[in-house]
Amino acid sequence: MSMRCLLVDDSIRFLQAARSLLERDGIPVVGVALSGSEALVRARELTPDVVLVDLGLDGESGFDVAAELARSVSCVIVLISTHALEDFEELIAANPARGFLPKSALSARAIRELLDGGGEAPAT
């Protein structure tokens, strides 16, 4: 599977760090978005294969953003957060996103494992 990635998070520092990490690991980051509305526009423009969406977007719900992306754009959505899976397990399971990764475990390998396995990526 191709891995062109769009990052959606309200932290510019996280976006910069995640972009650097993923690109160093061979996943091209085609764009970033700081809000849900920006994510929808960027996803339509850039047609990424994978969109990583933070659960908390400065007053917006990442769950809602992921659901809207799933309705609007053909891509795989992965929810990310500083919180543990257990904190939001039922909401994550009910969301159309492919799965969840804690930000502390974010890597190209973890994304590939999640996409290959279809759920939560193994802890790294």
Task: Show the domain range for 57.
Answer: 5-117
| Lowest mean pLDDT across 10-14, 22-26, 49-53, 86-90 | 86-90
Tell me the average pLDDT of the chain: 91
Judge whether 122 lies within some domain.
no
The enclosing domain of 78 has a CATH number of: 3.40.50.2300
Separation of alpha carbons 49 and 57, rounded Å: 21
For residue range 88-107, list pLDDT tens digits in order: 999 999 999 999 999 999 99
The answer to whether residue 47 scores a pLDDT higher than 80 is yes
Count, residues in the chain: 124
Separation in Å, CA 95 to CA 55, 70, 85, 87 = 11, 9, 13, 14
What is the count of structural domains for the chain? 1
Judge whether 14 lies within some domain.
yes
User: Is the model more confident about 79 or about 85?
Assistant: 79
For residue range 68-78, list pLDDT tens digits in order: 999 999 999 99
Longest dimension (CA), the chain: 34
Judge whether 42 lies within some domain.
yes
Judge whether 123 lies within some domain.
no
Residue % of the chain over a pLDDT of 70: 93
* Mean pLDDT of the 7-15 span: 97
Q: Who contacts 39 (Cβ-Cβ below 8 Å, separation ≥6)?
A: 6, 8, 33, 51, 53, 65, 69
